[in-house]
Amino acid sequence: MEGMTTSVPPYAAASPQTGRPRPQTMAEKILSRRGDADVYAGDLAVVEVDQVMVVDSIAQSFIERMERDLGAAPKYPERVSIVVDHVAPASTVSVAQAQKEAREYAAKTGVRLFDVGRGICHQVLMEEGLAQPGWIVLGSDSHSTTYGAVAAFGSGMGATDIALAAASGKTWLRVPESVKVTLSGELRPGVSAKDVALEMIRVLGADGATYQSVEIHAGDRFTRGERMTLANLCVEAGAKAGLVVPGGDILTDYGYDVPEWVYPDAGATYVRDVELDLSALRPRMSAPSEVDNVHDVAELRGLKVDQVFIGTCTNGRIEDLHAAAEVLRGQRVSPGTRLLVIPASSRVMEQALEDGTLLTLQRAGAVLGTPGCGPCMGRHQGVLAPGEVCVSTSNRNFIGRMGDKDARIYLASPAVAAATAVMGRVALPEDLTRDLAPA
């Protein structure tokens, strides 16, 4: 795989300490393998960390912890990546200063730095092969659960824990209990992985999986990108990790080496079993201001919308831009509504340039932005005014998330977001030929 790192040492040998041999969940498998003992939910595990990811907004505190508090350099610089993505290009002098310090730190220590325009941290690490099946990837960002898409134990931690991991090459954590989510049936046309993810969060509840590992059994359904959408949303149920079990050849087709030991054992212990029948699912939308406030799009149809945002680590990938372009081809964004499209990475942008997707979107009236987080967390590039309504393909609709506290955010799939942009009101792609009554 392009850009795949070869500098990380092979996995530690399995522990001979098998005092309690019993079937393990995927989280237990990975944490046992990367530690020096067989561990189960509730145990304390000390494990090797294969990659540490630091985002721009946290870089200053990370550097301060490393240099001032720990007086340490990264133990394995090749296992540390800094990504300038959240407010990129810089919006203020202090942001610019923080980013300058991050660059200087990377140059000094030899850690990787992905600078302005390369893209959103999770997308970039995935593209660079810096998350691999069976790895432990810690990020200074809550959506680090995304690495579970490739069967890596990905988890977000604060600057102090991240610095300790960078300095020592290890971390310690309580082994999480696991929730098993089993998907059955096939999606109807027009229903996407985002709809599955939103429905999963509705069923689990906004804090229904707090500190648990959500283990998603999806069979051989879904691309890597779609698996990222599923794993990404897991943290919105409070999860410590979101692991999508590799099915069929899905990951090996992308060039991943999937070790046999990574699969959960039959008979492993789960705290909860959730089954989702995909064939029954309709396009979903999360209404303000909790992610688990999920409805059928049809129930919200007609609501007037000021801004539509297609992008983020949840839905800014090529398949998402394709889904949007399919709806927007030959259409125009409704006057009075703004459509922002921000590819998740420079590679996504290049692909979308090459295959004409961006031209389709631009011609439809989209405003195209620099790969990165864009206005997802309300820092720049499209913040909302009081009273404004935004339909976004992102993962959070909290009060004040994208700007003013009196703005409202609705979360949906790229296809629904695109249809909404054309109608200027919440809509499904099939509505494009209909008149929508105001809600």
Ligand X SMILES: CC(C)[C@H](C(=O)O)[C@@H](O)C(=O)O
Candidate ranges 296-304, 370-378, 400-408, 417-425; the one touching ligand SF4 (CB under 6 A): 370-378
Site string for ligand SF4, 310-339 (x = CB under 6 A): --xx--------------------------
Q: Please choose, from the candidates 327, 318, 345, 434, the residue with its C-alpha nearest in 3D space to the C-alpha of residue 391.
A: 327
Q: From ligand X, ligand SF4, none, which one binds at residue 231 (CB under 5 to 8 Å depending on kind)?
A: none
Candidate ranges 135-143, 180-188, 254-262, 381-389; the one touching ligand X (CB under 6 A): 135-143
Q: Is residue 269 within 8 Å of 196, Cβ to Cβ?
A: no
CB closer to ligand X out of 156 and 429: 156
Candidate ranges 8-16, 53-61, 111-119, 285-293; the one touching ligand X (CB under 6 A): 53-61
Which residue carries 């105001």 as its tokens? 438
Q: Tell me the C-alpha distance between 367 and 374, whole Å.
A: 12
CB closer to ligand X out of 400 and 424: 400
Q: Tell me the C-alpha distance between 40 and 19, whole Å.
A: 11
Candidate ranges 26-34, 70-78, 96-104, 371-379; the one touching ligand SF4 (CB under 6 A): 371-379
Q: E strands within 8-63?
A: 44-48, 51-55
Q: How many CA atoms lie within 13 A of 15 on its CB side?
A: 20
Residues 75-104 that bind ligand X (CB under 6 A): 86
Q: From ligand X, ligand SF4, none, which one binds at residue 167 (CB under 5 to 8 Å depending on kind)?
A: none
Q: Tell me the C-alpha distance between 139 and 235, whole Å.
A: 13
Site string for ligand SF4, 101-130 (x = CB under 6 A): -------------------x----------
Q: Please, which residues have CB within 8 angstroms of residue 299's CB and are 6 or more apart in sequence?
A: none
* Secondary-structure breakdown of the chain: helix, strand, coil percentages, each rounded to the nearest 5: 35, 20, 45
Residue 142 in contact with ligand X, rule: CB under 6 A:
yes
Q: Tell me the C-alpha distance between 186 and 180, whole Å.
A: 19
Among 50, 128, 141, 320, binds ligand X (CB under 6 A): 141
Q: Tell me the C-alpha distance between 102 and 296, whole Å.
A: 43
Residue 140 in contact with ligand SF4, rule: CB under 6 A:
no
Among 377, 384, 409, 418, binds ligand X (CB under 6 A): 377
Annotated binding site for [4Fe-4S] cluster: 313, 373, 376
